[in-house]
Structure 1
Amino acid sequence: MTHYINRRGLLKASGAMALLSGLASPSILRAQTPVVKIGVLEPLTGNLAYNGTQCAAGAKFAAEAINAAGGIKSMGGAQIELVIVDAESRPEVAAAAVDTLAEAGVCAFTGASASALGLASSQAAAKYDLAQVFSVGTAEAIVERGLHNVFRYTPGVNKITAVAMDNLKLLNDGAGNPVKTAAIIHEDGPFGTSMADLIEKTLPDQGITVVERIAHPTPHRDFNNIALRVKASKADIIIPSNYINEYTLMTRALQQQRVELMAIYSVLGGAASNIKFVRENNDLAQYVIDCNHWYDPKKEASQALAASVAAAGLDMTYDVMVAYATIQVVADALERGASDDRLKMIEALAASDYADSIMPYGPTKFVNGDNVSAAPVNLQVRGDKIEVIFPAEYATAEPVFPRPAAG
């Protein structure tokens, strides 16, 4: 069951949102079966709408799977009812939307596709003792504020960057260290800036000189000057961190300006791990590497989710995966706590040792709200597929580095 609450009536019935908006909430079922409400706060309109609608769809698939398996058994088989609210890709709206979720009676909520949105929403939720389990939110400020209601299930910028840099060194060493220089391109928000700081500090220890660092706003429409700066720098590789629209425009500009690179090695690249980008820009996407959120493709539940996503005609993206997983974590807390009381939910989440999510993590362990068991993987575009290349236990292909020269 799903309730969609649109603060401005901006619902467009297309793609993932058509799937969400077409769901009914039968009054007969509601009368017969106990219900527990979980909020989903995502940017369904605005610049981040693609990511937000994908996350909302992932949450829906998870709720459906849990309900079909008997719901929350410790609460008499209570069925999960999602209350979906649009953050409109703006932090001030994300904060105000928490009031809507609280009034709707949710016990916790997931979201919100971007660190800036999640920072605003979690701060607003603290006054309600309302737990937020982050679907995506990499900025370390999220878990550094000491808020008792914050739970980041996926890894943050520090861990992602450390893993990404370790794996870049493995790749470069294995190829005979051809990469000597790099350009960093990043969005200028909390996640991009903090990540670029860490990358710029780490690369010299690997013998790689940073010859350019370029920040850009989100949204940003013209990457030609950025491409020309990269070309002039003669960087061997670029390391981008931005959202899907900007990433796509960036790679197109690099091609148009004939920028020659040994590799595009992304860290949380907004399109590099997105099958939509691969499908629509296949020539640009080839051999792009990313370090990002991803599920364990070998798990049975992952394969079932992939089948559901394909049947719905949607893209299988990390947004879908992490949103699915965060609903799993909330449902486990409900199962263990046997209550939708907000404070009890916070207690249950804080004590989580959940080990059955679709993500390639060990048992959940929240330390100051941060799941220290979370870890990213490295991915590479090959043909029309996104393959896992690191770590070895999840790999579906061997890495190719540097990428073959254009011929």
Structure 2
Amino acid sequence: MELKKIVFFMLATLLILTGCTGKAQSGEENIVKIGALHPLSGGLANEGQEMRDAARLAVKEVNEAGGIKSLGGAKVELIEADHEGAPEKGMSEIQRLDREKVVGVIGAYSSGVTLPATQEAERAGIPFVVDIATVEEVTERGFKYTFRVQPPASMMAENFLEYFDVLNEMSETPLETVVLVHEDSVFGTSIASLIEKGASDHQIDVLDNIPHAATAADISSTINKINRLKPDAVIATTYLRDGTLLVNGLNQSNFQPKVIIGVANGAFSNTAFINDETDINQHIMDVNYSINPQSELALEVSQKYEDQFNKHMGPNAAYSYTATKVLIDAVERAGSTDRAKIQEALSETNLTEHILPQDTIVFDESGQNANAQAVLNQIINGETKVIYPDEYKNADPVLPTK
């Protein structure tokens, strides 16, 4: 009997020391895990690594500022996941992050991966804050755990049509005819279709709508079609590789449109394209995401990013940084690592202190950032500048561009 009493006493003491209230055990009680799902390898690795680095910066800032105060200064740990641009890998990585017991996930850059990844997160009850993925369906499936920071495809198209009208008001030589060029996944196709649908209301004559594979090694047939049609403007939705091919092809051809305008273009607002392709990128425009160049906080964060990673903070990185801060803000307000409570806190987000060119970040009933919008950027002397709307601009547009 005496031995049983001793064993019982030791077990009771152990339970008291380790905690029997459901909290994490020694060394883990002050750690909150969040997942970051991006293409860290494969054809989109440049973009994915840029976004991962932005999430790292956001986590570092929070930890250096004392961690999550409502959880006793708990430190945030970023669990990084690589979906390689493959939908099935995105789903399996969500399953792994679930096993890692993350309280939420940000991601995932590719719409084709984001759709199944958010579906898997919904099944597991994991809050998912989408940084980049434009396709409309992301927030149209009635999911409770999906929240998107960036503007959807419909808003990108709407912003483009509005800004196209503004450009025509500014220019002495109106733009009337366009050719739409886009990569052929759900990303490029959805945006091009929305633009084509609304074009006539803005007196835009769409001469052709030309898809291509983002992995295409040659798009000379597209260049030849543009040369035959001779549009005033080429409107492009691409990734970095195919977007660079398109601009190179147009520059080497006999015909030059008055303007090249990207819409959510993965090349034209990409740091690599802006910095490395100065021979061909002068005055190219893009209706896309950006930091707010009129915000002191945005400029400070951008400088930190450049100092830490030795590269410019592009729009993809700006949205990953923001998505990370949005998720951590929700954890702070929830005062809990319970995913359901964090989901509830996300639905009540009202974030005024951020780096984006928009008003307060709030989510509507579908999980969409209600104030999300794109801006009109232009590459001027190797730098991307916001040229519209006026409240965010830091340069005047150069028109015509050719």
Indicate the residue corresponding to 1:145 in structure 2.
141
Indicate the residue corresponding to 1:183 in structure 2.
179
Change (3 A) 1:256 1:72: same
Unaligned runs of 5+ in 1: 1-29
TM-score of the superposition, structure 1-length normalised? Answer: 0.89
Indicate the residue corresponding to 2:109 in structure 1.
113
The answer on 1:256 being equivalent to 2:252 is: yes
Shift of 1:124: 0.9
Q: Could you give the per-residue CA deviations for residues 310-348 of structure 1, whole angstroms, max 9, x where no partner exists?
A: 222123211111100001100110111101111111111
Select 1:52's aligned residue among 30, 48, 56.
48
Indicate the residue corresponding to 1:134 in structure 2.
130
Indicate the residue corresponding to 1:227 in structure 2.
223
> Counterpart amino acid of 1:86?
D
Shift of 1:223: 1.4
1: distance between equivalents of 2:318 and 2:376? 15
2: distance between equivalents of 1:342 and 1:140? 25
The answer on 1:348 being equivalent to 2:358 is: no
The answer on 1:326 being equivalent to 2:287 is: no
Shift of 1:33: 7.0
Select 2:397's aligned residue among 392, 396, 399.
399
Is residue 41–residue 82 contact of structure 2 (8 Å, CA) maintained in 1?
Answer: yes
Shift of 1:221: 1.5
Indicate the residue corresponding to 2:266 in structure 1.
270
Shift of 1:364: 2.2
Partner SS state of residue 118, structure 1: helix
2: distance between equivalents of 1:59 and 1:291? 24
Shift of 1:32: 8.6
Partner SS state of residue 154, structure 1: coil
Is residue 178–residue 207 contact of structure 2 (8 Å, CA) maintained in 1?
Answer: yes
Is residue 38–residue 82 contact of structure 1 (8 Å, CA) maintained in 2?
Answer: yes
Indicate the residue corresponding to 1:173 in structure 2.
169
2: distance between equivalents of 1:100 and 1:219? 28
Shift of 1:102: 0.3
Partner SS state of residue 151, structure 2: coil
> Counterpart amino acid of 2:185?
G
Unaligned runs of 5+ in 2: 1-25
2: distance between equivalents of 1:38 and 1:288? 37
Indicate the residue corresponding to 1:39 in structure 2.
35
2: distance between equivalents of 1:37 and 1:287? 42
Shift of 1:190: 1.4
Correspondences of 1:5-404 after superposition (within 5 Å) = 31=27, 34-176=30-172, 178-311=174-307, 312-367=309-364, 368-403=366-401
2: distance between equivalents of 1:189 and 1:146? 23
Shift of 1:194: 1.2
2: distance between equivalents of 1:300 and 1:73? 25
Shift of 1:302: 1.7
Larger Rg, first or second structure (1 or 2): 2
2: distance between equivalents of 1:120 and 1:143? 12
Shift of 1:309: 2.3
2: distance between equivalents of 1:364 and 1:180? 35
Alignment: residue pair count: 375
Q: Percent identity?
A: 32
Partner SS state of residue 270, structure 1: coil
Q: Could you give the per-residue CA deviations for residues 364-390 of structure 1, whole angstroms, max 9, x where no partner exists?
A: 221211111111111000001111111
2: distance between equivalents of 1:259 and 1:177? 17
1: distance between equivalents of 2:304 and 2:104? 25
2: distance between equivalents of 1:379 and 1:82? 31
> Counterpart amino acid of 2:262?
S
Is residue 212–residue 219 contact of structure 2 (8 Å, CA) maintained in 1?
Answer: no
Partner SS state of residue 366, structure 1: coil
